[in-house]
Structure formats: C-alpha cells, structure tokens
Amino acid sequence: MPTDTPDIIREWARTIPRGSSILNLGSDERVPIARVLTDEGFTMYGVDAPAIEDSEFFNRTFDGVIALGVMSGLPPPMQSIVIGKVARALRRGGKFLFTAPQHAAREYQRVLRDQGMLMVGEQSDDEHTYYFAVKG
C-alpha cells in the first residue's frame, strides 16, 4: 500500500484511463500534483483554491478531479457545494480524490451519496493525511 502522497496519487490515477482529463482543485505545496499526473500521461487543468467557488472549469466535464488540502479549508456548507460541483463535472464513472479529516468520513459519505457519488476507498499516508477515493 502506498504511504506517500505521490504514490497515493499514482495509485488513484491507475483507475483512470491514460490520456484522460483531470481537474486539480487548489494546490498542495508539498507535492507537484500536476507534474505527477502529467508524467503519468494525463491532461491537467487547475484552479487555485480561492477561485474554486466561481471556477468556470465546473462548466466542463473531467474524467477525474483531485483536491488535496482543499476541502478542510472550506466551511462545511461550501464543502457540500464544491462536492456538488465536482459531481456535475465528473463524467459518468469518473473518479474524485480528496483529503479531509478522518473523523468527518461519515458526513462526507452522506454528502457524496446525496450527490450520486460513492466513496470507494480511504487511506492515510506517512504524515497522517487522510485520503478519500470516490467514484462518480
């Protein structure tokens, strides 16, 4: 099982066909997410964390969406709104990977289910960051 962020991202990316488009919500200074996924053969699009709420990228569709270090920085009502926007932006069967506190897993499962998505995996890395893998 992967234990660092780049390996967790690569493992998640293996569930998406190479060449697919992935939206990176926010940025994680510790890991160059776009570089990891571009090196794996994906087309990347990104939006900075402050612009997530009004991003025009939610008017497109993607095979995957990744949000590391973003969700827990948003107030709970905005987290639900962002999850709804992700659900609409994901192509059928698309994948969503995000980090959030482990203790909130049950609430995220409810919000995801309300948006027609299913949590399919959870894991933590060596730094105790908690990852949720979701299928749209």
> What CATH number does residue 118 fall under?
3.40.50.150
| CA–CA gap between residue 28 and residue 114 (Å, rounded) | 27
Assess whether pLDDT exceeds 60 at residue 27: yes
pLDDT confidence bin for 136, thresholds 50/70/90: very high
| Alpha-carbon torsion (17, 14, 81, 28), positive or negative | negative
Pairwise CA distance, residues 77 & 4, whole Å: 30
Number of domains in the chain: 1
Q: What is the Cα–Cα distance from 12 to 43, expressed in whole angstroms?
A: 15
Is the pLDDT at 29 greater than 80? The verdict is no
pLDDT digits (tens, 9 = 90+) for 73-91: 889 999 999 999 999 999 9
Mean of pLDDT over the chain? 90
Print the domain residue range for 36. 5-135
pLDDT at 28 over 60: no
Task: Quote the pTM value.
Answer: 0.92
Reported confidence tier of residue 126, pLDDT bands at 50, 70, 90? confident
Mean of pLDDT values over 1-10: 81
